[in-house]
Every structure is written in structure tokens, then in C-alpha cells.
């Protein structure tokens, strides 16, 4: 089993040591790598491709905020969740700035063990789940590409079958015309004969319609998150997780107690989700999220 790789970035050695100690105490197969500034973090992210990054805000050479913007602009790195840590930038505007730049979360220093582990585990699980979805989608795309020739051949065969069926109907029509003439000779009224034949034609039409429709029922998507990601691909893992909670009609206070975050943090994140979804403030977010079921 491949260990979960965590990149911790901080210019203070005591924090790097603290992070390593906290994660090793969990007795989980973590691989901890460290950097002392943003530039080093970007280089390590490219070479190691960690599962998550925990990064200090203020550092020499390149601060965490600048490094975050570089990471989120890189096509190969932008899906890695980044948790910003700071003991100075603690205002709600700072939080808003970090989230808008692409941070998945924001924690305060000194680090609280329970908070750090809860948030880290949550984002790692969500990132792994989204990665699985993307891999499944890619596999479906590959399968679709591999079947293009088969579908083209099937389409040709279906056209041939339809042409054959049309020829059969023409033949049947000719037989019916001949049958009408014979029935008239036997004294049957044209109205009676026509009614009988029309009934047979309608029955044949229904059979033909069912034949054409067979195998074309819409595929139902069983995964709500897949629908959410498809409709709003810019959502971060933390925002998707929040959507799942908001979908249950939980208040900001209730969600805060579950996720170890402040109610104000949840309100900022909700506002950001609305912006990404292009929803007006008056629009009911709960109803919108549930409309995608």
C-alpha cells in the first residue's frame, strides 16, 4: 500500500518537527516531506506530488500565499489540497483571501493536534475520492474511444436492418393491397377490410417503435458528487464536502461543530461556493444542491 505523502512547509524548524511528530504518532503509513519556503515547496510538489500540503503563510524567499497561487495555476498540481497555517494572519479577510486563492482550509498557530488531524484526514479522504472519480471518468472516456469503430459498425448494421424492415413493410403493403382486392371479390365492404388492415398496421408500428427504442434508456448517475463536480469543476474538495453538509440543510453553526471550524469560516466558504456556482444571494442554496439529485 502506497503511503500518504504530506508536504509540510514552514521556515521554523520546531514546527516542521511538531508536524512530523503528530503524524507519526498516528501510526499511519505517512510519508512526511518538508520545505522551508514556498519555492522549495513548489519544487518538491512537482517531484513528489504529495497528497496534501500544509503551508505557513509568512516565510522568506517566497511566502505561502504566493506559493499557493503558483500551485493552483499549475495544471499538474492544482488538485492537491493546500491547508494554510498562520499565527499572524488571523483576520476573516485573511481567511477569505486564502480561500479565494485556492486554499482548501486554514488553521491557526499554535497548532491544535485534534484540529490538524481532523482537517488533514478530511481533505485527504476527499482528494482520494475525487481522484478515484477522475480516474473512473478517464477510464470511461478511454472505453468510449475504443468503441468508436464498433459503434460505427453497429450503426451501419442498424441502418441495414432498418432498410430491410422498410422493404418488409413495403412487401407487406403490397400483400395487403392484393388481400383487399380479394376480400372485395368475396363481398366484404371496403370499410370493414380497411379497418382490419389498419389495426394490423398500428400493431406493427408499435412493435417497430419498441424495437428502435430498445437499449436507449438514459443512464442514471448514482453519485451525487460526480454530478456536482461535472456541473461545477472549479469546486475545491473542501467546498464539495461543505456542499454535502449544506445539502442536509445544516446551519453554519452545526457544520462548524462537525468540522472543527468557526461559524464565520463556514459563512465565508458558503459565500465562495455561491460565487463559483453563479448563484444570487436570494437564491436558496439548499434547494439548488438538492435539485441535482
The confidence score (pLDDT) of residue 47 equals 95
Please answer whether residues 33 and 44 qualify as being in contact, where contact means their C-beta atoms are separated by less than 8 angstroms: yes
Task: Give me the architecture of the 224-290 domain, per CATH.
Answer: Orthogonal Bundle (1.10)
Task: Name the pLDDT band for 215 (thresholds 50, 70, 90).
Answer: very low
pLDDT at residue 247 greater than cutoff 80:
yes
Q: Which three cell numbers stand for residue 183?
A: 376480400
* Domain assignments of the chain as residue spans, ordered by start: 4-143, 151-213, 224-290
Pairwise CA distance, residues 146 & 90, whole Å? 52
The confidence score (pLDDT) of residue 210 equals 41
pTM of the entire structure? 0.53
In this structure, of 139-143, 223-227, 229-233, the range with the lowest mean pLDDT score is: 223-227
Highest-confidence range of 14-18, 86-90, 192-196, by mean pLDDT?
A: 14-18
CA distances (Å), 224 to each of 133, 147, 227, 238, 250, in order? Answer: 11, 27, 5, 15, 18
Using CB atoms within 10 Å of the CB of residue 290, give its burial: 0 to 12 exposed, 13 to 18 middle, 19+ buried.
middle
pLDDT at residue 208 greater than cutoff 90:
no
Task: Tell me which CATH code domain 4-143 carries.
Answer: 3.40.50.2300
Q: How high does pLDDT run on average in the chain?
A: 79
Amino acid at each position: 500500500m502506497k503511503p500518504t505523502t504530506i508536504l509540510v512547509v514552514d521556515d521554523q524548524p520546531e514546527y516542521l518537527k511538531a508536524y512530523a511528530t503528530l503524524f507519526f504518532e498516528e501510526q499511519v503509513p505517512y510519508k512526511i516531506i518538508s520545505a522551508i519556503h514556498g519555492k522549495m515547496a513548489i519544487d518538491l510538489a512537482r517531484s513528489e506530488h504529495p497528497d496534501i500540503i500544509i503551508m505557513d503563510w509568512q516565510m522568506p524567499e517566497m511566502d505561502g500565499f504566493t506559493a499557493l497561487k503558483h500551485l493552483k495555476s499549475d495544471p499538474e498540481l492544482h488538485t492537491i489540497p493546500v491547508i494554510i497555517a498562520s499565527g499572524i494572519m488571523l483576520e476573516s479577510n485573511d481567511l477569505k483571501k486564502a480561500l479565494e486563492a485556492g486554499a482548501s482550509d486554514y488553521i491557526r498557530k499554535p497548532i491544535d493536534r485534534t484540529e490538524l488531524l481532523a482537517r488533514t484526514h478530511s481533505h485527504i479522504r476527499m482528494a482520494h475520492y475525487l481522484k478515484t472519480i477522475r480516474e473512473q471518468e478517464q477510464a470511461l472516456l478511454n472505453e468510449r474511444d475504443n468503441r468508436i469503430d464498433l459503434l460505427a459498425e453497429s450503426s451501419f448494421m442498424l441502418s441495414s436492418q432498418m432498410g430491410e424492415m422498410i422493404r418488409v413493410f413495403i412487401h407487406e403493403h403490397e400483400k395487403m393491397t392484393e388481400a383487399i382486392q380479394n376480400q372485395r371479390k368475396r363481398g366484404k365492404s371496403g370499410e370493414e377490410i380497411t379497418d382490419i388492415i389498419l389495426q394490423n398496421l398500428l400493431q406493427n408500428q408499435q412493435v417497430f417503435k419498441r424495437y428502435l427504442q430498445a437499449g436507449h434508456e438514459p443512464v442514471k448517475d448514482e453519485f451525487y458528487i460526480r454530478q456536482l463536480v461535472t456541473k461545477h469543476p472549479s469546486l475545491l474538495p473542501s467546498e464539495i464536502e461543505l456542499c454535502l453538509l449544506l445539502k442536509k440543510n445544516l446551519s453554519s453553526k452545526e457544520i462548524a461543530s462537525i468540522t472543527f471550524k468557526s461559524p464565520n469560516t463556514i459563512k465565508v466558504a458558503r459565500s465562495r461556493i455561491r460565487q463559483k456556482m453563479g448563484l444570487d444571494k436570494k437564491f436558496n442554496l439548499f434547494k439548488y444542491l438538492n435539485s441535482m439529485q
